């Protein structure tokens, strides 16, 4: 099942790349620098990714710094949002709650899910687990779906060509 879901993910990512343009790296450098690995995917609904806890992400107590864990959440929300919306998205807000620390050498597993899909936005939640399957943190986010060619209501109406010339 996991292998099948990754084939679907690869197919949908290739389709997205065709429409995003040749200069759009996907996954982006921020994902690859954290050494993320796609594990499971349910088309347009959920995504599971593993991230190793790297030495460079540790705080003075030897635990993964909260900002890096939030970045890991964002690195799962981002690809899922693009696939769910079939368009580029930007994060409006992201909230993370921390429950236990992660040490270098551990792996954090993040499972994100699309909860609500609006015309111009997405709402997603996620949970992070350690290798012992203990809850490490939770997160939720609102994302704005960005259209490459935005149109106003006036532009959508017939006979609006004069209006379009103003912009």
Domain ranges of the chain: 2-165
pLDDT of the residue at 166? 35
Report, as ranges of residue numbers, the positions in the chain whose pLDDT lies below 70.
1-2, 21-22, 148-167
**What CATH architecture applies to the domain 2-165?**
Roll (3.10)
Helix (H), strand (E) counts: the chain: 5, 6
Closest by CA position to 49, among listed 139, 138, 141, 128 = 128
For the chain, where are the alpha helices, taking DSSP H only?
2-20, 29-33, 66-85, 153-156, 161-165
Give the global pTM: 0.85
Residue range 25-68, pLDDT digits in tens: 778 899 999 999 999 999 999 999 999 999 999 999 999 999 99
Taking the C-alpha atoms of residue 40 and residue 79, their distance in angstroms, rounded to an integer, is 13
| List of residues 6+ apart from 113 with CB closer than 8 A | 45, 46, 124, 125, 126
pLDDT recorded at residue 100: 98
The single-letter DSSP state of residue 5 is H
């Amino acid at each position: 099942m996991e292998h099948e879901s990754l084939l679907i993910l690869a197919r949908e990512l290739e389709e997205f790349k065709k429409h995003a343009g040749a200069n759009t790296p996907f996954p982006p450098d921020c994902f690859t620098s954290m050494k993320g690995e796609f594990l499971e995917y349910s088309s347009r609904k959920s995504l599971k990714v593993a991230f190793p806890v790297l030495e460079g992400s540790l705080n003075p107590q030897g635990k993964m710094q909260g900002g890096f864990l939030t970045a890991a959440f964002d690195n799962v929300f981002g690809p899922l949002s693009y696939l769910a919306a079939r368009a580029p998205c930007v994060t409006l807000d992201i909230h993370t709650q921390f429950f236990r620390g992660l040490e270098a050498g551990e792996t954090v597993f993040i499972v994100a899910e699309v909860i609500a899909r609006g015309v111009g936005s997405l709402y997603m939640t996620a949970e992070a687990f350690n290798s012992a399957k203990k809850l490490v943190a939770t997160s939720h986010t609102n994302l704005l779906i960005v259209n490459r060619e935005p149109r106003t209501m006036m532009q959508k109406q017939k006979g609006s060509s004069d209006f379009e010339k103003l912009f």
